Structure 1
Amino acid sequence: LSFLDVADFIVDAHLGGGVLLNALLFYVVRRFSRSSVGTYKNLLATFAAYDVFLSLLHLALQPAAVITGTTFGVVTDTKYEDRKLTSIYCACFTVPFALMNIHFIYRFWSVRSPHLIALFSSPKFVALISMWPIAEFVVWYLLCFYALTGDVDEVGTRILRDEYARRYGKVLNDGWIVMNYWEHGFSPRLFSAMLAFDVIIFASFTGAISLGILTFYHIRKSEKISTQAHALQRTLFIAVCAQTFVPLVFVYVPYYCVINFAFFNIPFTFVDDAWMRMTACFPAWDAVIIIMLIRDYRDGLLSMFRKKKAVSMKETTWRTVSTVV
């Protein structure tokens, strides 16, 4: 087995784990959340459901990224070979950026302006704030599909197609989104697209850091909440920070590297291979962190298996007694 074969096996395991673990997380969030968690459980459940979707999307589209020289591209391996599908895939993985910031807004309001938390129970407000991840998806999709290139006969597409065939032994003629930065000298169009991608990434992460710092500050300074409420706020804050670290490592950094390295001709050839594999692993670890850090969910999940074990033992005992009788 080659290193890539082992890596692909690990990725497939993570994708399966992403579906299973996030489905379990969705259940335990709905089943074992305390009333004190409030509507925050809806955000956690939304994140879990979306992570299931991301894992299934990756399995269905089988994406790959290729960098060769100053040319970078992404393609999805489906029978349709459609640039729209590739653009949709890339855009879908930006939605967690927005969801992460919504989590931080909730946590910040819960300690700084608790009266605003009621807004998360308002259908109008939920619809309004849902426009944030939707808008981020739409902007990223439009940039991928319209600002980037990828026609079948383009020089950049041919370069990437040949490199993909060399690596994976398969020819994908269409479905590419391409950034061939220096094909005809400096390209203002592609440079502007790169800057737009970078702005979205940095704005999302800067917003999360700012809200995180403010939330931590107000948790430390808060004197109007009980010790139990303070402990809950601290636990949930740690959980959302850890949950932010996962997309930072598995999504933010890889996205930034593959978008920018080709422009500067940085010769890290493993980055493109690593990118798709890292994004595939992100949903599974997202679920693991929440389950491990929030005791109610961890204990709730364990109690499910204990009950099954107890029921199994009772059935075994009954059968043994029946046999003896």
Structure 2
Amino acid sequence: MFGSIVSEQFYYLYSSLTTGLSCLNNLLLIYVLAVTHIVQVGPYRFLLLTFAVVDVIISCVHLALIPAIHMTEFGYIYWGYRFIHESTAAAVWAGLTWVLLFYQTFVLLAFHYVYRYVMLCSPEWLAWFRRRPWRNWLVVTFVADVIFVGGIFLACLYGFVPTDMSRKAFAPVLRDVYGIDLFSPNAPGYLGIVYWTLNERGEKEWIRWSLFMIGSICFLFFATAAIIISCIVRIILELSDHRFATLAPATKRMQKQLFQTLLWQTIIPCITSYTPLAMVFLVPLTGIAMDGFGTVFIMSTALFPMLDPYIVIFLISG
């Protein structure tokens, strides 16, 4: 059992179903964007295509990994069931692959908002985007990936990979609840963080390095959220401005549809992905053990890649 909350059979069935639907729905969206003329959005279709491709990849990795999380009062541990019998390095890199793909969606979503803001509002301080648009947008994308995804990668590499301390801390609960022996000959790999330990006097002692690592991840997380919120506010102000009222009705309708689509592409993952993962990061800091609910949280992240194509197709083409 997955923390006595979700059965193993149900999780495998759930992952197979969500991955299958995600691949089918996103391939349909890719076809609509690449072949048909339902969506007349110009270069923006390439951003939507990129999002669809990432959705397919992350769904397939989710099924290949079957990720699980157990939340204790002192931290949390994340591992892949399909890699529990592999070497430490193989399991760690498999887990990192899913993590980096998941955080890639943050970068893409923020990039969508910046693109809509630049194209709709045409701010003077970002006028250089229009001079050589393809080169400039590619450079910005590359730099954002290096900073954001690279930062997440370094935080995981230096704060979450297996250590003797974390292996000893999580070994009892994984053995008792899941029947997983972290000290078996293959030394199963995982990503885990311990926020505090008990010293010789039985007092709680916070681990500063762990707090710095989770703080770095939260900073990157909320920095992206700040970019999105800032763009939302500016776009709403632009749409309500008198200058927007002078646009042709078809152009005005398309701009509103694109913005509504983007809002739903933010609201749904906030509910199914970002909020659950934020709880995984932050709840253990309060000393509350949510145990196998961490697996339920990570299962919910498989929903958005499956639903995203419907949002794009029905809101834009509607």
Name the TM-score class by shorter chain.
0.7 to 0.9
Does residue 236 in structure 1 map to residue 258 in structure 2?
A: yes
Matches within 5 A, 1:217-256: 217-221=237-241, 222-256=244-278
**2:145 paired with 1:133:** yes
Partner Cα separation in structure 1 for residue 41 and residue 293 of structure 2: 40
Q: Provide the C-alpha distance between the structure 2 equivalents of 1:85 and 1:48, rounded to a whole number of angstroms.
A: 21
Deviation at 1:8, TM superposition (A): 4.6
Which runs of structure 2 are paired with 1:83-232 in the superposition (5 Å)? 83-113=92-122, 118=130, 121-151=133-163, 154-171=164-181, 173-183=187-197, 185-221=205-241, 222-232=244-254
What is the aligned counterpart of 2:317 among 295, 307, 310? 295
Distance 1:14 1:169 in 2: 26
Corresponding position of 1:68? 72
Hey, what's the Cα distance between the residues in 2 that align with 1:62 and 1:69? 24
State the Cα distance separating 1:116 from its structure 2 match: 6.8
> Partners in 1 of 2:134 and 2:105 — Cα distance?
22
Secondary structure of the residue aligned to 1:52 is helix
**Counterpart Cα distance in 2 of 1:120 and 1:283:** 32
Cα RMSD for the two superposed structures = 2.5
Query: 2:25 aligns to what?
Result: 21
Report deviation, 1:89.
2.0
User: How many Å apart are 1:240 and its aligned residue?
Assistant: 0.5
- d(CA) in 2 for partners of 1:116, 1:28: 31
**Residue 294 of structure 1 aligns to a residue in which SS?**
helix
Q: Which moved more, 1:113-122 or 1:282-291?
A: 113-122
Partner Cα separation in structure 1 for residue 62 and residue 149 of structure 2:
16
How far is the alpha carbon of 1:209 from its aligned partner? 1.4
Q: Once the 2 structures are TM-superposed, how far is the Cα of residue 93 of structure 1 from its aligned partner?
A: 0.7
- Note if contact 2:71-2:292 (Cα within 8 Å) is conserved in structure 1: no
| Percent of residue pairs identical | 22
- Please state how far the C-alpha of 1:15 moved relative to its aligned partner: 1.6
Specify the SS of the correspondent of 2:288: coil
The residue type paired with residue 123 of structure 1 is: R
Pairwise CA distance, 1:134: 4.1
Q: Which of the residues 277, 287, 308 maps onto 1:286?
A: 308
Pick closer, same or farther for the CA change 1:267–1:247 going to 2, 3 Å: same
Counterpart CA distance in 1 for 2:80 and 2:101 is: 14
Cα separation, partners in 2 of 1:292 and 1:10, compared to 1, 3 Å:
farther
Q: Per-residue deviation at 1:197?
A: 1.3
- Unaligned residue ranges in structure 2 (runs of 5+): 200-204
Please give the alpha-carbon distance, in whole angstroms, between the structure 2 residues aligned to 1:116 and 1:36: 25
Question: Is residue 265 of structure 1 aligned with residue 287 of structure 2?
Answer: yes
Asked which structure has the greater CA Rg, the reply is 1
Q: CA deviation at 1:121?
A: 4.6
Structure 1 unmatched runs, 5+: 297-325
The structural deviation recorded for 1:214 is: 1.1
The alpha carbon displacement at 1:252 in A equals 1.4
Secondary structure of the residue aligned to 1:267 is: coil
What SS is found at the alignment partner of 1:273? Answer: helix
User: Could you say which residue in structure 1 is the equivalent of 2:45?
Assistant: 41
